[in-house]
Amino acid sequence: MKIDSLKDHGIPVEFIEKLKQQKINQLNEPQVKSIENGLLSFKNQVVSAPTASGKTLIATLAMIKKLKTEGSKAIYLVPLVALAGEKWQYYKKLFQGSGIKVTISTGDLDSTSQWLANYDLIILTTEKCDSLMRHEADWIKDIGLVVVDEIHLLNDPSRGPTLEITLTRLRETIPNAQILGLSATISNVDEIAKWLNAKSIKSDFRPIELYEGVYFDNKLEFFGREGYDLNAALSTEQSILENTNKLRKQCFYFVSTRRNAESLAEKLGKFNRTFLGKNERQELSKLSDKILNVLESPTSQCKKLADCIRNGVAFHHAGLLGKQKGLIEDNFRNGLVRSICATPTLAMGISMPAFRVIIRDIKRYYSGYGMRYIPVLEYKQFVGRAGRPEYDSWGESILVAKNETDSHKLTETYILGDPEDIYSKLSLEPVLRMHTLALIASGFIDSRKSLIGFFKKTFYAHQYGDITDIEEKLDKILEMLIDFKFLQHKKDKIFPTKIGKRVSELYIDPITAYHFVRSLKKSNESTPDFTLIHVISKTLEMQPLLTVTNNDFKEVDDKIARSIFLEKSPEEHDEDYDSFVRSVKTAMLFESWVHEKTEDQLLSQFRVTPGELYTRLKNADWLLYSLNELGVLLGVKKTLGSIRKLRVRLKYGVKEELLPLVRLEQIGRIRGRRLFDHNLKSMSDLREISLLNLSKIVGPQVANTIKKQLGEKHEEIKEEKQMTLG
């Protein structure tokens, strides 16, 4: 089907021309199937097709038709912030000048975000959408199209339940809205489609061929295509990289752990350097410096990554900082970084020009089970990253086998195997606890009967039929929430209390909230900072807590002996003692941060990478905010000042004495300490010092910025060498 024929289906010519500018002149098989099955007649659909098969265009056509025909809103739900950003950039550019206003919202879970009502296409994470419904955002009733990217994540224990509840609630709130689910290839797509009263669109189409193969004994053997020999004098990974470089292509190596990703990148980097030209080395050197200096004080991990980058190879995992990951991804796209050694976090979502994907570690450690083979569904996600139509004519995926028997097994299981069925994970109790309170607190549910009725409309109920297991858990949860005084029960009706509604809006687990309430009631103005830090560390949201090794026990035990806790500490023989000790160590991490330990010192002492540290700090900030909000509601005024001050200290990682300084733009913990050590402790001190002398301490650019913020007018110092004139 030619792109011009879309005007017969109600797509305005101006948008057809925009698509032509993207070199889209022909619709492919899944796109044609979708249109023929009612996409542009506003029928619900679940599209199951390989990565890069054109699912985004299907969503785009649905948006154009819905927004231009009905004037309603469209929301695009994604599982990850990075994926949300990529979609926002794409649609902002595509719809520029069209009258369709596009925006993105992924943060601030304690807001109605009323400003979103002014936009037509709104890109949201699933959690943000859930939060908006908890806050009863009134513009949700204007939504006419719900696009759900990566809908197979219903199968994911951490993300799936929230997605399932959100979809169930949206269907009840806006029953006439069109739902469009997008997914990689899944086996039971018909089952998901039936739940959503949708048509399933299934396709194996890929715009370019993907050849799946196995490496064994210096040979690449592909299924359905002739293989070739590699350099027997090199290691497996090096021989594949050498071949990839000779083809002038790029590749991903997927490994099981962060440590494996780092060690492989170091190994491949030294080898890859021989393939770099002079200009590439110069550009990589500049990029290496940027990567190194993302933090004011680089860590050993930053230095290791910078060294790898200098050689054209990177490692990529959750322990990296967001800016570092962004620099790696951008420079992989422009071809400067040749290969990335990654954990599975890179397998989802964002588009990258990897011609070849190598799955070196087909086994991974699963807590409670040990080393296990990864699911076929996950393998399909990996290999889907290989060969993008905008970059390549074909793509290759390579499994690394240990021997011939292993080679046959990998071929049978993964290359010829079908992905596993998607199963609801809704019966997990922590999930039910949060969402039960949310449904009642927002007024969506007002009785046990209506609560059970809601869960009978979920994918879990559709899949299993019998929800007796969930009903029993819901009854226990209702009893718990009433006991916590988050809900109240009158005759057949259930209502939220004032504090119960606030807990739901704060997006924290009710058990965490109850722990906060009890702790706040025991606190006072003299409660130590470490005590408050431990309150937020001993929560479900902070898990996984830091592991306590044999070498740590003495230091942690000493800390316990010297500290005050707002709840009774368990005895060593108690079942929850191990969790308590781990929560103390986690609190010690945060305490070290506000005592101005550097990221590298924390990496050395606590084995916490910068990426993990800043994720934990973000969680800690939200938990302290929630603690403060509940304190306001409870009227615990004497503790609130300490909580607010601690929240600012955690944000900047400083002792209390630096708080006046770090509030200034471009003054972080390092520059703040430098100013303080030069006896510049307040705004008045900074006003009194001359611009020239201030420049000698923090540099001319920062000195100019400080003086501007203080409202002073000076002739700016523009060159570093002027600092020496005095």
- Do 447 and 550 lie in a common domain? no
Strands 143-148 and 73-78: parallel
**Rounded CA separation 222/612 (Å):** 38
Question: Are residues 481 and 500 in contact, defined by beta-carbon separation less than 8 angstroms?
Answer: yes
703 domain residue, yes or no: yes
Looking at residue 706, which CATH number applies to its domain? 1.10.150
Mean pLDDT, rounded, of the chain? 91
Q: Domain check: are 410 and 435 in the same one?
A: no
Contact by Cβ (8 Å): 662, 668: yes
Is the domain of 380 the same as that of 265? yes
Is 666 contained in some domain?
A: yes
Residues 70 and 48 in one domain: yes
26: phi then psi, degrees, rounded to nearest 5: -135, 140
| Residue that is last in its domain, among 202, 227, 244 | 202
Task: Please state, in angstroms and as integers, the Cα–Cα distance from residue 553 to each residue in 92, 539, 543, 585, 605, following that order.
Answer: 53, 21, 19, 9, 13
Separation CA 216–CA 69 (nearest Å): 56
CA dihedral 578, 605, 599, 326 (to 10 degrees): -70
Same domain for 180 and 236, yes or no, is no
Query: Is residue 718 scored above 80 in pLDDT?
Result: no
Asked whether residue 420 is domain-assigned, the answer is no
Q: What is the CATH number of the domain that holds 76?
A: 3.40.50.300
pLDDT of residue 71: 84
pLDDT tens digit string along 280-290? 999 999 999 99
Shared domain check, 535 and 494: no
Q: Considering the chain, what percentage of its residues have pLDDT values greater than 70?
A: 98
Average pLDDT estimate for 422-441: 93
- Tell me, what's the pLDDT at 349? 57
**Residue 253 domain boundaries:** 209-415
Instruction: Flag whether pLDDT at 723 surpasses 50.
Output: no
Residue 347, pLDDT above cutoff 70:
no
Tell me the per-residue pLDDT of 459-488, one tens digit each, with 9 for 90 and over.
999 999 989 999 999 999 999 999 999 999
Where among 202, 234, 252 does a domain terminate?
Answer: 202
Contacts of 21 (CB under 8 A, 6+ apart): none
CB 261 within 8 A of CB 340: no
Q: Report pLDDT for 155.
A: 92
If asked whether residues 648 and 668 sit together in one domain, one would say no
Residue 424 is assigned to a structural domain of this protein: no
Q: Would you state the pLDDT for residue 228?
A: 87
- 608-650 per-position pLDDT tens digit: 999 999 999 999 999 999 999 999 999 998 899 999 999 999 9
Q: In terms of domains, do 554 and 642 share one?
A: yes
Examine residue 685 and state whether it is found in any structural domain, yes or no. yes
Q: What is the pLDDT of residue 726?
A: 29
Measuring CA to CA, how many Å separate 137 from each of 85, 104, 113, 200, 277?
Answer: 22, 16, 8, 31, 55
What is the predicted pLDDT for the residue at 158? Answer: 87
At residue 180's C-alpha, the angle toward residues 204 and 355, to 5°, is: 40
Model pLDDT, residue 390: 78
222 and 308 both lie in a single domain: yes
The answer to whether residue 421 is domain-embedded is: no
At 630, which CATH number?
A: 1.10.3380.30
Q: Are residues 516 and 624 in the same domain?
A: yes
Question: Can you give the pLDDT at residue 59?
Answer: 95
Residue 68 belongs to a domain: yes
The alpha carbon of 178 is separated from its chain's Cα centroid by a whole number of angstroms, namely 26
Condensed to tens digits (0 to 9), the pLDDT of residues 177-228 reads 999 999 987 889 999 999 999 999 999 898 888 999 999 988 999 987 888 8
Residue 423 within any structural domain of the chain: no
The tens digit of pLDDT for each residue in 359-385 reads 999 988 877 777 888 899 889 888 888
What pLDDT, on a 0 to 100 scale, did the predictor assign at position 348?
A: 66
- Confidence tier at 51 by pLDDT (50, 70, 90): confident
* 68 or 366, greater pLDDT: 68
Q: What percent of the chain has pLDDT over 90?
A: 72
Say yes or no to pLDDT of 246 above 70: yes
Query: What's the number of domains the chain is made of?
Result: 5
Give the residues across from 73 on adjacent strands.
Answer: 143
User: Lowest-pLDDT range, 205-219, 399-413, 709-723?
Assistant: 709-723
715 pLDDT band (50/70/90 cuts)?
A: low
Q: What is the pLDDT of residue 207?
A: 86
In angstroms, the CA 311 to CA 280 distance is 9
**CATH value at residue 433:** 1.10.10.10
Last residue of a domain, one of 601, 629, 653: 653
> Parallel, antiparallel, or unpaired: how do β-strands 178-183 and 45-48 relate?
parallel
pLDDT of residue 724: 35
Q: Which residues contact 705 (CB under 8 A, 6 or more apart)?
A: 665, 666
Residues 375 and 233 in one domain: yes
Instruction: Looking at 196-257, list the stretches that DSSP marks H as alpha helix, in order from N- to C-terminal side.
Output: 236-246
Taking only the tens place, the pLDDT of each residue in 307-321 is: 999 999 999 998 999
Q: Both 84 and 181 in a single domain?
A: yes
